[in-house]
């Protein structure tokens, strides 16, 4: 059967999140976004991730309140996350648009 890379990433990162001290601010905005997405609209979030684990952490923090966004969000990532042996297993469980740097081509 196919391996579930999404759940692999979620379960690997889950123990690293301090849920007592972590929260998503303005959760109503995410609920509004989910409604807009279900209606067929587009939503773009811009961020500056600090680690390759950020997509998994975002998905973990949204999985209870907004499970649809948590599982269907599309991330823009550099080529390192799909070619690096440590990053690739986690990236395989995400919806990615990969951007290749000119200096790596």
- Three-point CA angle 66, 12, 58, nearest 5°: 30
Q: Residue 90 sits in which domain range?
A: 5-104
Q: In angstroms, rounded to a whole number, what is the distance separating the alpha carbons of residues 26 and 37?
A: 17
Q: What is the CATH number of the domain that holds 15?
A: 3.40.1130.10
pLDDT in tens, 24-57: 889 999 999 999 998 999 999 888 777 778 888 8
Q: Structural domain tally of the chain?
A: 1
How many residues are present in the chain? 105
Rounded to the nearest 5°, which phi and psi values hold at 99?
-110, 120
pLDDT in tens, 59-73: 999 988 998 998 888
């Amino acid at each position: 059967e196919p391996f579930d890379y999404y759940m692999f990433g979620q379960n690997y990162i889950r123990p690293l999140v301090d849920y007592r001290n972590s929260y998503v601010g303005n959760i109503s905005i995410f609920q509004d976004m989910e409604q807009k997405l279900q209606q067929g609209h587009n939503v773009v979030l811009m961020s500056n991730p600090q680690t390759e684990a950020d997509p998994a952490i975002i998905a973990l923090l949204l999985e209870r309140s907004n499970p649809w966004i948590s599982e269907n969000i599309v991330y823009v990532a550099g080529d390192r996350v799909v070619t690096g042996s440590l990053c690739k297993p986690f990236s395989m469980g995400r919806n990615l648009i990969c951007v290749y740097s000119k200096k790596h081509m």
